[in-house]
């Protein structure tokens, strides 16, 4: 029966080529535009580390003095922590894994005289960083735990930098000149580009990951500069790096891995205990003093990873789709009613109402699938456009299988819904009217 209906559909499409192609174009444009917008939104909002996003927590401490707060966040918590706090809370044994983190950078000076020095962004972290965030290694591994207490000049570099400096060979044990200091390579990681770059949402949500990772314990030794935000609320005279380290400036980040709810609660309590200990020393004077743990998904929300522009566009694109569908209903009405005499004959020859109804829905579904296919093509074109418009999204914008199925689903679903009314109208055709005219 279905093949018969499909044959009838094909015949009817051939009979009204202009009307049919108008419908296909309308559905195609509707799907194309909404899929383009949805893809960008979906990719931005996607969980960058699904296996762990609910175990990794970003630590926020309300270390402001009286009367100060952060106007950028809903709960007024600062985005980062001070260096003394990062050092102190690192003593806690509660988290399964933990890392201090700072965006920094170096001048890389290649050994050979004919390749010029270049700047490279870097990250100062602790040895568990790679395990916490599931960073894949090609050669070697992270540094020894002791290095986080007694610093040594070791470095983990990424594949790209390894290709540039060592032609992609195993560089473990070799030296890299970062500024005027020699570092020994202990590991090389594979390309690792989480999108959004959830482990540091302060410095560009979709920026490239760093190529260089050095021990956080080197901060005071080599006075690693901050390449990220430095927020201060207190008037302090900071004349040198040592004074910066001791200050109330918030410029470090802290991540912990807390595998269960119980561990999370235990850690929350540990932090509260730490804060009251600090209050005795005259810090954390604000009445809101406290600690906040936010997992990856919550942290993405706080940082508004999906810009409000995108939400506006999603709304607009669905209205666009609605217009396309209303348009299609109008055109379907025209198409079906034109066929009324033929339907009258079929009804007179014994076709039931439901058969006529289903036949017309098959007709619509056929057009819907063609429209959906055109929509996917247009969507790809749209994404290409988005890529040229937003250079930082380039790795984001591609449709995966879920999105393709979704596109066809929306096309099919919405066109069948659009076809209901016209199909219902036509199946109520009274055969006698048309037989009389004939």
Residue of the chain from 84, 110, 168, 330 that contacts other proteins (CB under 8 A):
330
92 exposure class (CB count in 10 Å sphere: 0-12, 13-18, 19+): middle
Choices 26-34, 159-167, 213-221, 264-272; region in contact with other proteins by CB under 8 A: 26-34
Three-state DSSP state, 270: helix
C-alpha distance across the termini of the chain, in Å = 28
In this structure, are strands 118-125 and 212-215 parallel, antiparallel, or unpaired?
parallel
Separation between Cα atoms, residue 256 and residue 437, nearest integer Å: 81
435 near other proteins, judged by CB under 8 A: no
Per-residue binding string, other proteins, 118-147, x by CB under 8 A, is xx----------------------------
110 near other proteins, judged by CB under 8 A: no
- Total number of residues binding other proteins (CB under 8 A)? 54
The Cβ of residue 427 has, within 10 Å, a number of other Cβ atoms equal to: 21
Residue of the chain from 352, 400, 421, 430 that contacts other proteins (CB under 8 A):
421
> Which C-beta is closer to other proteins: that of 322 or that of 417?
322
Rg value, the chain, Cα: 31
238 near other proteins, judged by CB under 8 A: yes
CA atoms within 13 A on the CB side of 425: 16
Residue of the chain from 15, 288, 301, 338 that contacts other proteins (CB under 8 A):
338
| CB-CB contact of 155 with 183 (8 Å) | yes
Per-residue binding string, other proteins, 259-298, x by CB under 8 A, is ----------------------------------------
Choices 110-118, 168-176, 286-294, 404-412; region in contact with other proteins by CB under 8 A: 110-118
109 near other proteins, judged by CB under 8 A: yes
Among residues 226, 222, 232, which one has the least CA distance to residue 203?
A: 226
| Helix, strand, coil tally for the chain in percent (to 5) | 50, 15, 35
Token pair for 58: 């970003």
Q: Return the residues of window 189-208 that contact other proteins according to CB under 8 A.
A: none
Q: Return the residues of window 27-66 that contact other proteins according to CB under 8 A.
A: 29-30, 33
391 near other proteins, judged by CB under 8 A: yes
Three-state DSSP state, 351: coil
DSSP codes, 99-131:
EEEEEEEEEEE-SSTTSPPEEEEEEEE-TTHHH
Residue of the chain from 19, 293, 345, 404 that contacts other proteins (CB under 8 A):
19
Residues near other proteins, by CB under 8 A: 19, 22, 25-26, 29-30, 33, 67-68, 107, 109, 116-119, 179-180, 225, 235, 237-240, 307-309, 311-313, 315-317, 319-320, 322-324, 326-327, 329-331, 333-334, 337-338, 385-386, 389-391, 421, 425, 437
């Amino acid at each position: 029966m279905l093949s018969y209906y499909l044959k009838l559909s094909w015949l009817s499409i051939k009979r009204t080529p202009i009307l049919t192609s108008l419908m296909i174009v309308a559905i195609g444009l509707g799907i194309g535009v909404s899929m383009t917008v949805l893809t960008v939104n979906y990719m931005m909002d996607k969980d960058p580390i699904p296996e762990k996003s609910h175990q990794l927590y970003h630590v926020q401490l309300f270390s402001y003095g009286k009367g100060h707060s952060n106007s950028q966040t809903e709960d007024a918590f600062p985005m980062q922590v001070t260096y003394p706090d990062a050092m102190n809370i690192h003593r806690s044994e509660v988290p399964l894994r933990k890392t201090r983190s700072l965006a920094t950078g170096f001048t890389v000076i290649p050994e050979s005289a004919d390749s010029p020095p270049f700047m490279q962004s870097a990250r100062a972290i602790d040895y568990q960083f790679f395990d916490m965030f599931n960073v894949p290694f090609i050669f070697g591994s992270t540094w020894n735990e002791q290095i986080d207490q007694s610093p040594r000049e070791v470095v983990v570099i990424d594949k790209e930098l390894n290709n540039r400096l060592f032609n992609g060979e195993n560089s473990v044990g070799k030296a890299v000149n970062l500024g005027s200091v020699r570092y020994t390579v202990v590991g090389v990681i594979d390309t690792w580009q989480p999108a959004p770059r959830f482990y540091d949402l302060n410095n560009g949500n979709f920026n490239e990951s760093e190529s260089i990772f050095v021990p956080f314990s080197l901060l005071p030794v080599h006075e690693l500069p901050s390449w990220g935000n430095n927020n201060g609320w207190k008037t302090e005279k900071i004349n040198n790096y040592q004074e910066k380290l001791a200050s109330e400036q918030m410029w470090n980040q802290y991540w912990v891995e807390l595998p269960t709810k119980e561990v999370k609660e235990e850690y929350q309590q540990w932090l509260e205990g730490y804060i009251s200990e600090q209050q005795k020393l005259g810090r954390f004077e604000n009445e809101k003093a406290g600690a906040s743990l936010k997992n990856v998904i919550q942290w993405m929300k706080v940082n508004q990873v999906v810009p409000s522009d995108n939400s506006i566009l999603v709304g607009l694109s669905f209205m666009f789709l609605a217009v396309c569908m209303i348009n299609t209903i109008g055109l379907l009405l025209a198409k079906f009613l034109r066929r009324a005499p033929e339907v009258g004959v079929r009804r007179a020859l014994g076709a039931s109402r439901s058969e006529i109804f289903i036949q017309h829905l098959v007709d619509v579904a056929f057009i819907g699938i063609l429209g959906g296919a055109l929509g996917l093509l247009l969507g790809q074109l749209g994404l290409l456009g988005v890529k040229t418009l937003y250079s930082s999204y380039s790795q984001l914008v591609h449709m995966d299988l879920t999105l393709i199925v979704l596109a066809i689903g929306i096309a099919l679903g919405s066109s069948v819904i659009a076809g209901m009314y016209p199909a219902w109208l036509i199946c109520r055709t009274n055969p006698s009217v048309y037989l009389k005219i004939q």
